[in-house]
């Protein structure tokens, strides 16, 4: 059982966090709830408002949450304020070494880049903020031609729906192609008809 902690914040892009949440939750559901425990973490426990107004309640605060095996840092308009939030940035920097995997979706890469976690690594992000990532992480190699990049303990992906792809990739990496195919077929996502029996 791995704990999946998804950091959420005001003006987050909905699919950036909801896509990975669905992938890991469905995978666990289809496997007797034995593979993943998925929860959200906010700066404070309580309601956050997404970029389009959807209200979501964070399960935990950054000061009081279970151990995180896989940390997901989504993106959205709100990352521009989050990268200036010293409390949040210090929290990410503190727990990242304790995680098995830290992955960003969309502009979540800007937070990882600002902390130096992408230094010397190839990375990617949403196509409209490539320059912002380069500015925030001058020592990363930004590749606009890749949808996702996995370095083992650190992974980044492009915008919005790419978080689903990266999450499915992680499911396969951790539990094999058959479990990933089962999840993908259940979600009726992408080329699921081709990839299932």
pLDDT number for residue 190:
81
pLDDT above 90 covers a percentage of the chain that reads 94
pLDDT surpassing 80 at residue 121? yes
Nearest 10 degrees: Cα torsion 76, 157, 151, 7: 30
pLDDT over 70 (residue 74): yes
Architecture of domain 2-189: 3-Layer(aba) Sandwich (3.40)
Boundaries of every domain in the chain: 2-189
Measured distance CA(104)–CA(72) in Å, rounded: 6
What is the per-residue DSSP string for 106-132?
TTHHHHHHHTTTTTTSEE---GGGHHH
Q: Which of 2-16, 138-152, 180-194 has the lowest mean pLDDT?
A: 180-194
Reported as a pLDDT band with limits 50, 70 and 90, residue 24 is very high
Euclidean distance between CA atoms 28 and 179, whole angstroms: 10
Q: pTM here?
A: 0.94
Q: Give the model's pLDDT for residue 100.
A: 98
């Amino acid at each position: 059982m791995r704990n999946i902690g998804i950091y959420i914040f005001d003006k987050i892009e909905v699919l950036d966090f909801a896509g990975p949440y669905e992938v890991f939750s469905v995978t666990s559901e289809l496997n007797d709830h034995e593979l993943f425990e998925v929860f959200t973490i906010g700066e404070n426990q309580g309601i956050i408002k997404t970029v389009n107004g959807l209200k979501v309640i964070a399960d935990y605060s950054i000061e009081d949450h279970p151990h995180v095996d896989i940390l997901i840092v989504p993106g959205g308009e709100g990352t521009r304020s989050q990268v200036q939030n010293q409390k949040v940035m210090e929290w990410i920097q503190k727990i990242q070494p304790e995680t098995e995997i830290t992955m960003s979706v969309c502009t979540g890469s800007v937070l990882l880049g600002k902390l130096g976690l992408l230094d010397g690594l190839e990375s990617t992000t949403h196509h409209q903020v490539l320059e912002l990532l380069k500015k925030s992480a001058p020592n990363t190699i930004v590749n606009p031609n890749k949808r996702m990049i996995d370095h083992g303990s650190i992974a980044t992906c492009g915008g919005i729906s790419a978080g689903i792809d990266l999450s499915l990739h992680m499911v396969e990496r951790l539990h094999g192609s058959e479990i990933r195919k089962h999840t993908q077929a259940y979600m009726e996502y992408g080329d699921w008809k081709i990839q299932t029996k």
